[in-house]
């Protein structure tokens, strides 16, 4: 009886802990990816933290955006996509930059690399994990 009680307790506590990072049903374990947390977005639900992350990212991009002077002067426009990860330490690593000219690509990459270290890295299964992201930049002179 004593062993049955201990086994039941362990099973119950494991199920409760597992629900923070995933779901266990029968023989299937589903892990939930939790996005990184931008500094200042630590409180609230996961949905609120994600919304805060997106708002802070948009603000960061617009505040740090600089149209390369030579490209602006010569009316060079284009769309650049920066693919990056926020690694297990909460730091940004650019993986790929595509589209536009080299000058536009360098500006988009610079902007992403200027992101701060995240308050918390992304998580999967209760462990830090690199999270892949992509951000499009549209360079348009309006001339």
Q: Tens of pLDDT along 66-86?
A: 999 999 999 999 999 999 999
pTM comes to 0.76
Per the CB < 8 A criterion, the answer to whether 103 and 68 are in contact is: yes
State whether 81 and 123 are in the same domain. Answer: yes
State whether 70 and 26 are in the same domain. Answer: no
How far is 111 from 63, CA to CA, in rounded Å?
A: 9
Statement: residue 65 has pLDDT above 90 = yes
Q: What CATH number is given to the structural domain containing 81?
A: 3.30.2420
Domain of residue 15 covers: 1-31
Residue that has been written with the tokens 């992101």 in this structure: 115
How far is 54 from 119, CA to CA, in rounded Å?
A: 14
Q: Which of 114, 127, 141, 110 is nearest to 56 (CA)?
A: 114
State whether 6 and 57 are in the same domain. Answer: no
Task: Read off the pLDDT of residues 90-123 as tens digits, 9 standing for 90 and up.
Answer: 999 999 999 999 999 999 999 999 999 999 999 9
State whether 12 and 58 are in the same domain. Answer: no
State whether 71 and 101 are in the same domain. Answer: yes
State whether 69 and 59 are in the same domain. Answer: yes
């Amino acid at each position: 009886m004593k062993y049955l009680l201990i086994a039941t307790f362990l099973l119950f506590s494991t199920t409760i802990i597992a629900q923070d990072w995933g779901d266990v049903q029968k023989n299937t374990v589903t892990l939930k990816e939790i996005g990184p947390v931008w500094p200042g977005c630590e409180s609230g639900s996961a949905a609120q933290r994600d919304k805060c992350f997106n708002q802070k990212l948009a603000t960061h991009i617009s505040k740090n955006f600089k149209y390369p002077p030579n490209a602006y002067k010569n009316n060079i426009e284009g769309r650049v996509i920066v693919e990056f990860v926020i690694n297990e330490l909460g730091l940004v690593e650019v993986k790929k930059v595509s589209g536009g000219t080299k000058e536009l690509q360098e500006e988009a990459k610079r902007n992403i690399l200027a992101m701060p270290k995240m308050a918390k890295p992304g998580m999967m299964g209760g462990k830090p994990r690199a999270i892949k992201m992509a951000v499009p930049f549209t360079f348009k002179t309006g001339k």
